[in-house]
Amino acid sequence: QERYDYQQIETKWQKQWAERDMFKLKQEGDKPKYYCLEMFPYPSGNLHMGHVRVYSIGDVIARFKTMEGFNVLHPMGWDAFGLPAENAAIKHNVPPSDWTWSNIANMRRQLQTMGISYDWDREVATCHPDYYKWTQWLFLQLYKAGLAYKKKAHVNWCPSCATVLANEQVVDGLCERCDSQVEKKALAQWFFRITDYAQRLLDDLNKLPGWPDKVKTMQENWIGRSEGVEADFPLVEQKGDFDKITVYTTRQDTIFGVTYLVLAPEHPLVESLVAGNPDEENLRNFIKKVLSQSEIDRTATDAEKEGIFTGHYCINPLTGEKVAIWLANYVLVDYGTGAVMGVPAHDQRDFELATKYNIPMKVVIQPEGVDDLVAEEMDHAFEEEGRLVNSGEFNGFINTKALNVIADKMEAEGKGKRKVNYRLRDWLISRQRYWGAPIPIVYCEKCGEVPVPDEQLPVMLPTDVKFSPSGESPLTTRPDFHECTCPQCGGKGRRETDTMDTFVCSSWYFLRYCSPKDSEFAVRKEDADYWMNVDQYIGGVEHAILHLMYARFFTKVLYDLKIVSVEEPFENLLTQGMVLMGGSKMSKSKGNTVSPEEIIAKYGADTARLFILFAAPPERDLEWSDRGVEGAHRFLHRVWRLVQTYGDQFDNVPNLIIDSPDLQGLSGDDRELVRISHYSVKKVGEDIGQRFNFNTAVSTIMEMVNALYQYKDKVSLDQQNLPLVKDALARLVLILAPFAPHICEELWQELGGSDSVYKQAWPAFDENALVRDEVEVVVQINGKVREKLQLTNGLDGETLKAKALENNRVQELIAGKNVVKVITVPNKLVNIVVK
């Protein structure tokens, strides 16, 4: 074949691979296993370059590990529930399920044109009843273990649409659909008790040396462990059920500096402080205003601190002083105890509130050796280390040392207790949405909350739905869905109409891939035992916190329930960088995207893959470059032509790979050919297998191709060692195959290879072949590089000097000058000093 007809080649092999079930997993008993997983995509409609990048990376690894002799699990599926399908349904009047399945079909087709080695028989889609049946079953396992529970939580509520909004649907405090002011409404919501696992999720980060440090740090911060004290401030007068307020502080060393106390506006005590209060109206307006602010707006460091005095007081347990009780926006109800002691001199947020409302400040820490802080003169809080003052018996202590002493005293006197807190909250998993896995619970007037029995799963999501203009979930408006009988007493029941957060579906899909078709189990124990953990997980760093935390949580729960035997799901994690265009992330809204489909049509999938793997190391951002794509394309042409040059010259050369070449008696050029071939195999294998340096692997392959061309151009055909050339070309094709599988499959067949290139073993290399017979020695004159000599390895200094001085060019350059000195470094350098 003369021309590199990539379209014909790619179509042909994709078809043949499919017909021959090439990528169907065959679990061979004597091989070790390798589970290579890329984060599955949301079926938005079309692949984008970010997808091309992550799936190309995964495919190189999967193909390489297959060649290395592993049983490789390399599956693909769809994270298919979620809000965009509902929005599309409302906009275009198509049912979410139709929209989703047609997107899946399109994206599957696009992925297939990339030639990725997926076992499509293992495909899963989270919106398929065979999948969400098990999501529901897992929900029930958590429920039965006491890890799923219902409680009231504040959700975004659009009063005019009469519906709950996801955070993304609230734009600048307004409903995305109708622009009304969004309110916070307390509605009963389902939660998973991930906080029970906070400490384990934190501790076990130490068991993940194969994760990037930045991801582990993000998880650590998200878990946000802190050690402090819960301190009791007795109320001056009992209010309702309360006779004290418990605050959480990590800075009990500052307790003598407390000048007020703050409750979150949602704190349960607040109602009894407000009801009948002379300032009731203002207080209620304030509370309403704060509740309409998002948590982010309330807690951002630069957010305006706002508060209001309740008119009530409590008592500082250590000083006995009367302390005013305030409400403020920056205190959150669901962290610590929802109450904070205000120390304006030493906490910046408190400082800002106190300054704004003229609340007194009291300095209780002086900077060491300076001792001149005066409350009236401060322009920000003093938060550093120092010595305690105005702190009674603790005066003179270094504040960090006083932490323990004061905690001891409070515990001894029953005024407080040490407490560890986590920023991590329980996971709110219910969505008042249609396109998600229905939560398998029935409410019965007699029996209350009743779990749906296993044999009634899945609770099917109706797919023939119409949306009302408000976008309310069709589940709530369809009696045929929510009217049911109670599984326990047979009486009248009402089905839960909330569905699960899509993060629930994606928290266990890596397990389903181990037994994708099983009808008895979510995952078969023996399958999970064989395949887990995922050896290499690849995906975007945007999932560093939520998805990766939830997947770890699920794995730990399933470990505790003895469903799986591993405590961590992902042994190694690679977070690939973004694909940039002109320095910013490719995105539809910026209009700077390049369509993978067009690139593949124009240059072929092999070019697209090769470019994207060559353009940057996988963890770095990658700048899209048309020139780069063309370069990759030209390179493949060059590889093609090289093999074609030899054409029928190989007719009488039986070998492909020569395992241990006979190095004796080879000419210099043949010897170098062998060296380059073996060196390239070694280098590319290490770059892929040990470091994921795909870009340097590709440049090594490019250098190898250059060397092969040099050999071809330099040595006349009748002098060429054709068995060695064929060996070199076979090696080239094998090591390029993980990157550019179609062209390599075609060339492999042309070289006379048997079976598929995908089924070949990664070639071995011979250490002896790596040793250079010749080395390049640089000749400098007065320190400037003037000539390079190819010399036999290992010459001594005297010989080197002689070789350099007899060189023609060197003689020209030093003609008429005095050689003062010659310095030699064996195998490297000759420096001639002249005057």
Nearer to ligand ANZ, 386 or 440 (CB): 386
Q: Which residues neighbour 276 within 8 Å (Cβ) at sequence distance 6 or greater?
A: none
Residue range at the interface with Zn ion (CB under 5 A); choices 133-141, 329-337, 488-496, 656-664: 488-496
* 444 near Zn ion, rule: CB under 5 A: yes
- Among 489, 820, 823, 825, the residue binding Zn ion under the rule CB under 5 A is 489
CA distance 448 to 444: 5
- Quick one: which of 569, 754, 722 has its CA closest to 652? 722
Q: Which does 335 bind (CB under 5 to 8 A by kind): ligand ANZ, Zn ion, none?
A: ligand ANZ
Q: How far is the CB of 339 from ligand ANZ (least distance, A)?
A: 7
Residue range at the interface with Zn ion (CB under 5 A); choices 178-186, 489-497, 530-538, 581-589: 489-497
Kindly state the number of chain residues that form the binding site for ligand ANZ, as judged by CB under 6 A.
19
Q: Alpha-carbon dihedral of residues 408, 411, 413, 415, nearest 10 degrees? A: 120
Residue range at the interface with ligand ANZ (CB under 6 A); choices 31-39, 277-285, 330-338, 458-466: 330-338
Nearer to Zn ion, 493 or 763 (CB): 493
CA distance 731 to 700: 13
- Among 48, 63, 133, 346, the residue binding ligand ANZ under the rule CB under 6 A is 346
Residue with tokens 């529901």: 136
Q: How far is the CB of 447 from Zn ion (least distance, A)?
A: 3
- Among 46, 390, 468, 488, the residue binding Zn ion under the rule CB under 5 A is 488
Residues 606, 740 contacting (CB under 8 angstroms): yes
Both tokens assigned to 53: 């990048």
CA distance 65 to 36: 9
Q: Which does 475 bind (CB under 5 to 8 A by kind): ligand ANZ, Zn ion, none?
A: none
* 382 near ligand ANZ, rule: CB under 6 A: no
CA distance 159 to 177: 12
Give the three-class secondary structure for 436.
Answer: coil
**Binding characters for ligand ANZ, 263-292, by CB under 6 A (x = yes):** -x----------------------------
* 148 near ligand ANZ, rule: CB under 6 A: no
Q: Which does 226 bind (CB under 5 to 8 A by kind): Zn ion, ligand ANZ, none?
A: ligand ANZ
**DSSP percent split of the chain into helix, strand, coil, nearest 5:** 40, 20, 40
Q: Which does 489 bind (CB under 5 to 8 A by kind): ligand ANZ, Zn ion, none?
A: Zn ion
Site residues for ligand ANZ, 415-434, by CB under 6 A, read: 421
Strands 77-78 and 124-125: parallel
Q: How far is the CB of 254 from ligand ANZ (least distance, A)?
A: 4
The number of angstroms, rounded, from the C-alpha of 228 to the middle of its chain's C-alpha atoms is 32
Both tokens assigned to 622: 């990658």
| Residue 409 marked as a ligand binder | no
Nearer to ligand ANZ, 341 or 528 (CB): 341
- Among 153, 318, 381, 486, the residue binding Zn ion under the rule CB under 5 A is 486
Nearer to Zn ion, 465 or 486 (CB): 486
Handedness of CA 342, 345, 347, 353 (dihedral sign): positive
* 447 near Zn ion, rule: CB under 5 A: yes
Angle between helical axes of 605-614 and 6-19 (0-180°, round to 10): 100
Handedness of CA 87, 93, 94, 96 (dihedral sign): positive
Q: How far is the CB of 211 from ligand ANZ (least distance, A)?
A: 24
- The helix or strand, by DSSP H or E, that contains position 431, with its residue range, turns out to be strand 430-431
Handedness of CA 740, 64, 68, 78 (dihedral sign): negative
The type of residue at 523 is V
Helices (H) and strands (E) in the chain, counts: 27, 34
CA distance 154 to 428: 11
Both tokens assigned to 829: 């350098």
* 375 near ligand ANZ, rule: CB under 6 A: no
* 231 near ligand ANZ, rule: CB under 6 A: no
DSSP state of 689: I
Residues 412, 173 contacting (CB under 8 angstroms): no
Residue with tokens 């409750």: 263
* 248 near ligand ANZ, rule: CB under 6 A: yes
CA distance 295 to 307: 16
Residues 345, 362 contacting (CB under 8 angstroms): yes
The number of angstroms, rounded, from the C-alpha of 329 to the middle of its chain's C-alpha atoms is 33
Q: How far is the CB of 398 from ligand ANZ (least distance, A)?
A: 15
- Quick one: which of 49, 166, 105, 4 has its CA closest to 615? 49
Residue with tokens 């349904």: 89
Q: How far is the CB of 147 from Zn ion (least distance, A)?
A: 23
* 3 near Zn ion, rule: CB under 5 A: no
Q: How far is the CB of 196 from ligand ANZ (least distance, A)?
A: 18
Kindly report the backbone phi and psi dihedral angles of residue 588, in degrees, each rounded to the nearest multiple of 5, phi listed first.
-60, -45
* 442 near Zn ion, rule: CB under 5 A: no
Residue range at the interface with ligand ANZ (CB under 6 A); choices 141-149, 184-192, 327-335, 511-519: 327-335
Residues 512, 124 contacting (CB under 8 angstroms): yes
* 251 near ligand ANZ, rule: CB under 6 A: yes
Residue range at the interface with ligand ANZ (CB under 6 A); choices 79-87, 250-258, 271-279, 444-452: 250-258
- Among 95, 265, 336, 440, the residue binding ligand ANZ under the rule CB under 6 A is 336
Residues 507, 492 contacting (CB under 8 angstroms): no
Residue range at the interface with Zn ion (CB under 5 A); choices 290-298, 375-383, 485-493, 644-652: 485-493
* 484 near Zn ion, rule: CB under 5 A: no
Residue range at the interface with ligand ANZ (CB under 6 A); choices 148-156, 243-251, 275-283, 774-782: 243-251
Residue with tokens 């928290």: 507
Q: How far is the CB of 416 from ligand ANZ (least distance, A)?
A: 12
Q: How far is the CB of 437 from Zn ion (least distance, A)?
A: 23
The number of angstroms, rounded, from the C-alpha of 550 to the middle of its chain's C-alpha atoms is 12
Q: How far is the CB of 421 from ligand ANZ (least distance, A)?
A: 5
Q: Which does 136 bind (CB under 5 to 8 A by kind): Zn ion, ligand ANZ, none?
A: none
* 439 near ligand ANZ, rule: CB under 6 A: no
Q: How far is the CB of 420 from ligand ANZ (least distance, A)?
A: 9
Q: Which residues neighbour 515 within 8 Å (Cβ) at sequence distance 6 or greater?
A: 521, 523, 524, 527, 528
The type of residue at 482 is H
Q: How far is the CB of 397 from ligand ANZ (least distance, A)?
A: 15
Q: Which does 251 bind (CB under 5 to 8 A by kind): ligand ANZ, Zn ion, none?
A: ligand ANZ
Q: Which does 239 bind (CB under 5 to 8 A by kind): Zn ion, ligand ANZ, none?
A: none
* 366 near ligand ANZ, rule: CB under 6 A: no
Asked if the peptide bond before residue 655 counts as cis, ω within 30 degrees of 0, the response is no
Query: Which residue spans within 147-285 are E strands per DSSP?
Result: 148-158, 163-165, 170-171, 174-175, 183-192, 225-239, 242-249, 260-263
- Among 54, 62, 341, 605, the residue binding ligand ANZ under the rule CB under 6 A is 341
Q: Which does 675 bind (CB under 5 to 8 A by kind): ligand ANZ, Zn ion, none?
A: none
Q: How far is the CB of 249 from ligand ANZ (least distance, A)?
A: 3
77 conformational bin, left if phi > 0, alpha if psi -120 to 50, beta if neither = beta
- Among 347, 535, 571, 766, the residue binding ligand ANZ under the rule CB under 6 A is 347
- Among 41, 43, 265, 338, the residue binding ligand ANZ under the rule CB under 6 A is 338
- Among 303, 332, 594, 833, the residue binding ligand ANZ under the rule CB under 6 A is 332
Binding-site annotation, residues for ATP? 588
Instruction: Please give the residue ranges that form the binding site for ligand ANZ (CB under 6 A).
Output: 226, 248-251, 254, 264, 330-332, 335-336, 338, 340-341, 343, 346-347, 421
Instruction: Please give the residue ranges that form the binding site for Zn ion (CB under 5 A).
Output: 444, 446-447, 486, 488-489, 491
Binding-site annotation, residues? 588
